[in-house]
Amino acid sequence: GQNIDQPTEMTATEGAIVQINCTYQTSGFNGLFWYQQHAGEAPTFLSYNVLDGLEEKGRFSSFLSRSKGYSYLLLKELQMKDSASYLCAVRDRGTDKLIFGTGTRLQVFP
Amino acid sequence: ETGVTQTPRHLVMGMTNKKSLKCEQHLGHNAMYWYKQSAKKPLELMFVYNFKEQTENNSVPSRFSPECPNSSHLFLHLHTLQPEDSALYLCASSQAGLAATGELFFGEGSRLTVL
């Protein structure tokens, strides 16, 4: 079966660093995605990991460990506009579908 | 026009009504999707079309009927819905194929309320 777990809510302070974790179980892994979704808006692509290690893109970084079924999204120098939901999604090798977690709602406070 | 556009953005309908949601993508992609997003639940895949052919129906009730006349347009026809069908319906597109990452490009969604 397939299962993706991530925390429901997190809070952080402007300027700080926050790490959003995602663990997954899938019968066949073919990549992990992170999406950002502001309230009332479309999810937008943040990062894609298919090999182990860290991918850095500006203030955002994403890490993957396939052996542990684990990923995290790291947000540095938090800004108020980073308040959003962050969706972890795994691409299943067999079906080629993206399976989403419930999302982590991040609130950034001044 | 760029990206993925959905209309209407908001829709309120009674259980006996018939309505349709429309999605259009201007990205040259060959795969299109309907997802349902309910509060505190993961995005649920409903339908997948590859090159206009339906390749996935994720056990969706027949009161939801998709239509894909070409690779740029996708519809979701709605009839005799239930209040529990109230949700945000998201359309997405991607470039299908083994070389593609499968990254999805989403529209802003149609917020549906069934009374």
Which of B56, B102, B108 is closest, CB to CB, to A42?
B108
Q: Is B59 on the interface with A (CB under 8 A)?
A: no
- Residue in chain B lying closest to A86 (CA): B42
Tell me what pLDDT residue A27 has.
83
State which H helix or E strand residue A7 sits in. none
Q: Tens digits of per-residue pLDDT, B10-33?
A: 999 988 889 999 999 999 999 999
Q: Tens digits of per-residue pLDDT, B40-65?
A: 888 999 999 988 777 777 789 999 99
What number is the average pLDDT over the span A32-53?
A: 93
- Residue in chain A lying closest to B90 (CA): A42
Question: By the 8 A CB rule, do B35 and B92 touch?
Answer: yes
- Residue in chain B lying closest to A95 (CA): B56
Question: By the 8 A CB rule, do A17 and A78 touch?
Answer: yes
Tell me what pLDDT residue A87 has.
96
| Separation of first and last alpha carbons in chain A | 41
Question: By the 8 A CB rule, do B27 and B93 touch?
Answer: yes
Question: By the 8 A CB rule, do A10 and A20 touch?
Answer: yes
- Chain B residues with beta carbon closer than 8 angstroms to that of A4: 42
Tell me what pLDDT residue A101 has.
93
Under an 8 A CB cutoff, do B108 and A41 touch? yes
- Chain B residues with beta carbon closer than 8 angstroms to that of A91: 102
Q: Is B42 on the interface with A (CB under 8 A)?
A: yes
**SS3 assignment for A55-78:** EEECCEEEEEECCCCEEEEEECCC
B99, pLDDT greater than 90 = no
What number is the average pLDDT over the span A58-68?
A: 96
SS3 A109: strand
